[in-house]
Amino acid sequence: MWLKAWERLPDDPAIHRSALAYVCDYTLLEPILRRHGSAWADDGVVTASLDHAMWWHHDGRMDSWVALVQTSPVATRGTGLGTARLYSADGRLLASVVQEGLVSLP
């Protein structure tokens, strides 16, 4: 998905990295739910982050368009692995992210 901040952010790279980290933590378990045909709003769906790691490759601006590419290579026995890569509009890899999550479905 493509995303960006609603308003211009300050020029401080730490603020843009913080915004990028927020986006990743907020959505990274989504591909696991989709893999099982579920959604956050479904009754009985419970998720929790067990482990989360990020690697920063290049600075980017979160008030410019950023592509968030998410996948779930495995989801089984109540856990799942979500991965993401974030790219600037010109194709630079800004960050790689991996999150293991607890997923309980009804």
Integer Cα distance of 97 and 80 in angstroms: 14
How high is the pLDDT of residue 19? 92
Angle at 39 between CA 99 and CA 5, to 5 degrees: 65
Amino acid sitting at position 3: L
Please state the pTM of the whole predicted model: 0.84
**How do residues 46-94 score in pLDDT, each as one tens digit?**
888 899 999 999 999 999 999 999 998 888 888 889 999 999 999 999 9
SS3 72: strand
Angle at 52 (CA atoms; ends 87, 49), nearest 5 degrees: 120
The percent of residues in the chain predicted with pLDDT above 90, rounded, is 54
**Pair of tokens at residue 36:** 């099982």
